[in-house]
Copies of this chain bind each other. A is one copy, B any other.
Amino acid sequence: MREAWRLLTIQSHVATGYVGNRSATFPAQLLGWDVDAVNTVQFSNHTGYGRWGGQRFDERHLTEVFEGLERNELLTQNRVVTGYTPSPEALSAVERLITKLRAKNPALVYLLDPVMGDMDRGMYVNPHVLPIYRRMLHLSTIICPNQFEAQLLAGEEITSLESLQAVQEKLHKEYHVPHVIITSLALPPEDLARLGASDTMPDGREAMVLVGSTWDQGLHSWFLQFPCLGEYFSGVGDLFAALVLARFSTELDDLPEPARAAHALEPTKSDNECTLPIARAVMLAVASLQHVLERTRATMIEQGARLHLDPFRPVSQLDAEERVKVMRLRELRIVQSATEIVHPHVLYRPQWVLHA
């Protein structure tokens, strides 16, 4: 039995709402982790609102906090997650810390979410973070880029099943990442079909396809397909990363008691179900996330009707006052979903990729 289950999260803090550390901390605590949190900013609300008050913390402040932890021998975490860190200076301070943690504890599980941009918006951080992230890949256990970020890291486009596998192999073999999760994949329908997936659920809803891979004397690749619910919300990626990190285990002893229960779930009879530990963690994380998103959408619709606001209108069509109100309606209902975060109902299961 472990003496402690301690998880460090280094992300943004907002006074109100759920992004960064505010999205990661409560769910990981619910799952039994003693969560240590270093805040890289303190803002009134997330920047998607269009206006906010507060400040980013500079490298000096972050380094002081890290040095305080180090000097007092408080760097005893088993797990670390890092996310959105827009400045190269702050990211360098984080890199130095993770290097120390990794040296101290070779069994450290580090989930790196290399937040840099997406297909729609392109790169929205300082481009100098890219070489730092590439170095940090060597420290990571799990990474969860979206397709845009995976392409940036590998320096190669993903346009087919073959180029997807080339990117995965590069991240595993050249950058030594044990587990790669590409959180959203857009491929031509025929390549998705060769994967065994589709961009449509059997009931006709739009689907998200997430692709995971583990390197173990070769590429072991799987995917998870589930209905697309997350497009309107901020903090979804931060919540996903925290849930995966809080759930991942090769042995149950790696997890605090509340995180263990759902792992007792039997696999389905499907011959093709992937039961790799990382795939199980992702399956449970997605299941919890779907609950949170469904509750958030329901509340959005209800409160939007009361306020005579369409909460799904694109930000570009909203004036400043409307934008603030709509962003508020879109805040994740995390606290209200405590039960489903701990005990999710699993509807979608990971499948092995059919063939190369």
Point out residues on A near B: beta carbons under 8 Å: 3, 8, 13, 15-16, 22, 25-26, 29-30, 32-39, 42-45, 49, 51-55, 57, 61, 64-69, 71-74, 258, 303, 324-325, 328, 335-336, 338
Pairs A-B, 3 closest by C-beta atoms? A53-B68, A44-B68, A53-B64
Query: Would you give 16 A-B contacts (Cβ < 8 Å), ordered by A?
Result: A13-B37, A15-B38, A25-B26, A26-B26, A32-B336, A33-B335, A35-B335, A42-B61, A42-B65, A44-B66, A44-B67, A52-B68, A53-B65, A54-B61, A73-B324, A74-B328
CA distance A159 to B72 in the complex (A): 42
| B-side contacts of A8, CB under 8 Å | 15
CA distance A8 to B73 in the complex (A): 32
From A15, A30, A33, A72, name the one whose CB has the most chain B CB atoms within 10 angstroms. A72
Known contacts A26-B26, A42-B57; A72/B335 CB under 8 A: no
Chain B: minimal CB distance from A328 (Å): 7
| B-side contacts of A35, CB under 8 Å | 335
Are A67 and B53 neighbours in the complex by a CB distance under 8 Å? yes
Which label, helix, strand, loop or mixed, suits the secondary structure of the A interface?
A: mixed
Known contacts A26-B26, A29-B335, A335-B34; A15/B69 CB under 8 A: yes
| B-side contacts of A69, CB under 8 Å | 15-16, 44-45, 53
CA distance A3 to B329 in the complex (A): 12
Chain B: minimal CB distance from A354 (Å): 42
CA distance A71 to B55 in the complex (A): 16
Are A16 and B74 neighbours in the complex by a CB distance under 8 Å? yes
| B-side contacts of A51, CB under 8 Å | 68, 71-72
| B-side contacts of A336, CB under 8 Å | 32
Chain B: minimal CB distance from A96 (Å): 14
Given contacts A42-B61, A55-B64, A258-B338, 20 further A-B contacts (CB under 8 A): A13-B37, A13-B39, A15-B36, A15-B69, A15-B74, A29-B335, A30-B30, A33-B335, A35-B335, A38-B42, A44-B64, A44-B65, A44-B74, A51-B71, A52-B68, A53-B71, A54-B64, A55-B61, A72-B328, A74-B328
Known contacts A42-B61, A42-B65; A324/B30 CB under 8 A: no
| B-side contacts of A67, CB under 8 Å | 44, 53
